[in-house]
Amino acid sequence: MALICHWSIEMNVMEQLTAAIALAETHNLLFLLAIVAIVFLFEAAFPLFRYGRTHVRNLIVNVAIAAILVGLDFAVGSISPHGANFVTRTRFGLSNWLGLSPLGQLILGVLGIDLFQFLAHMILHKYRPLWAFHRVHHCDNQVDVTTGFRKHPAELLWKIPWYIAAIALFGVPAWVLAFYLAVSTLNAALEHANFRLPATLDRWLRVVYVTPNMHKVHHSRLQPETDSNYGDILSIWDRLFRTYNPGPRFDELRYGLDGLNERGKQSLGGLLKMPFMPSWGKPATLGIDNRTGEADA
Ligand SMILES: [Zn+2]
């Protein structure tokens, strides 16, 4: 007992912070479920769009694919933290070479990982074989909190090398990585949630941060809008790379992707095989009205 007390007193602030963040980080299923539950209730109270008839079916599919992602994350999710521990142990990467303070490590680490995640996301859109996988996320006709976790499992594997590259280049310690993953998970739930921020608050926040309103443009059915606002947490990269879109116009916003509306393609099996079905998505079909869930007349 005395040994435990002594240990806890000796534990420095950074270690306590690391432990706290580790509890809340993305591998923690309870953290994820709690976020989703809170946002889900908020959506129900203040919905941006009224859900259509297919919403419950859509919800079940999204939860099922999210469960597969969580399972895969249990298998491969420790690769990046191992990488972060390795760069700290070997004092590799910019933050170690520059001898940055913990605050400096936090700022550089978040900027570095977020830039690399921005690039990874943009390439998913620009390179056709990768877009075939990313369509699974974008073909959701009724964007809500579950859409944030509706991704083809292979997308998770695509992101790992980008995390490793950022960790190595910027010398990101494990506690900064855990902080980033926790904020990124939280924001994945918020930015897809079926609600919008008041315009004034949105205008201020989006100067540096990807707001729920800003990310809604990225789920537009119109391709120039789909190919904008790639940011994960910070909006600065879209401004820098000229992919920033100030929208959306909520009245005209239509979610999803043309040619991928059919029930078979929107099923769990359909979504999992979507990347290997190059003929899917053509020819374009009618848009879905977000407010009714019905095809546009
Ligand atoms: Zn995207």
Distance CA 128, CA 38 (A): 36
- CA 34 – ligand 1 centroid, Å: 25
Give me the pLDDT at residue 289, please: 55
Give domain status of residue 20, yes or no: no
Total tally of structural domains belonging to the chain: 1
Rounded distance from Cα 14 to ligand 1 centre (Å): 34
Q: Specify whether the CB–CB gap between 233 and 209 falls below 8 A.
A: yes
Residue 86 lies in a domain: yes
Is 297 a residue whose pLDDT tops 60? no
CA separation for the pair 253, 251 (Å, rounded): 6
Per-residue pLDDT at 10 = 44
Name the pLDDT band for 285 (thresholds 50, 70, 90): very low
Q: Tell me which residue has tokens 């859109």.
A: 125
Task: Give the distance (Å) from ligand 1 centre to CA of residue 185.
Answer: 15
Per-residue pLDDT tens for 25-78?
545 788 888 899 999 998 988 899 988 888 899 999 999 999 999 899 888 988
Q: Which residue is listed with tokens 């769009």? A: 49
Residue 71 CA to ligand 1 centre (angstroms): 22
Q: Give me ligand 1 centre to Cα 189, in Å.
A: 15
Instruction: Judge whether 75 lies within some domain.
Output: yes
Answer yes or no: is 294 within a domain.
Answer: no
Which residue range is the domain that position 207 belongs to? 25-44+52-276
Report the 10 Å Cβ neighbour count for 250: 12
CA of 116 to the centre of ligand 1 (A): 14
Q: At what angle do helices 29-45 and 174-192 cross, to 10 degrees?
A: 30
Whether pTM exceeds 0.75: yes
Residue 14 lies in a domain: no
Distance 288 CA to ligand 1 centre (A): 19
Q: DSSP string covering the chain, please?
A: -HHHHHHHHHS-HHHHHHHHHHHHSTT-HHHHHHHHHHHHHHHHHS-SS---TTHHHHHHHHHHHHHHHHHHHHHHTTHHHHHHHHHHHTT-SHHHHTT--HHHHHHHHHHHHHHHHHHHHHHHHHSHHHHHHHHHHHT-SS--GGGGG---HHHHHHHHHHHHHHHHHHT--HHHHHHHHHHHHHHHHHHHSS----HHHHHHHTTTB--HHHHHHHTBSSHHHHTS---SSBSHHHHHTT-------TTT--BS-TT--STTTTSHHHHHHGGG-TTTT-S----B-TTTSSBP-
- How far is ligand 1, taken at its centre, from the CA of residue 101, in Å? 34
Residue 281 is assigned to a structural domain of this protein: no
How many whole angstroms from 229 Cα to the centroid of ligand 1? Answer: 8
Q: Evaluate whether residue 1 is within a structural domain.
A: no
Cβ(18)–Cβ(174) under 8 Å?
yes
Average pLDDT of the chain?
87
Ligand 1 centroid from CA 7, angstroms: 45
Residue 199 located in a structural domain: yes
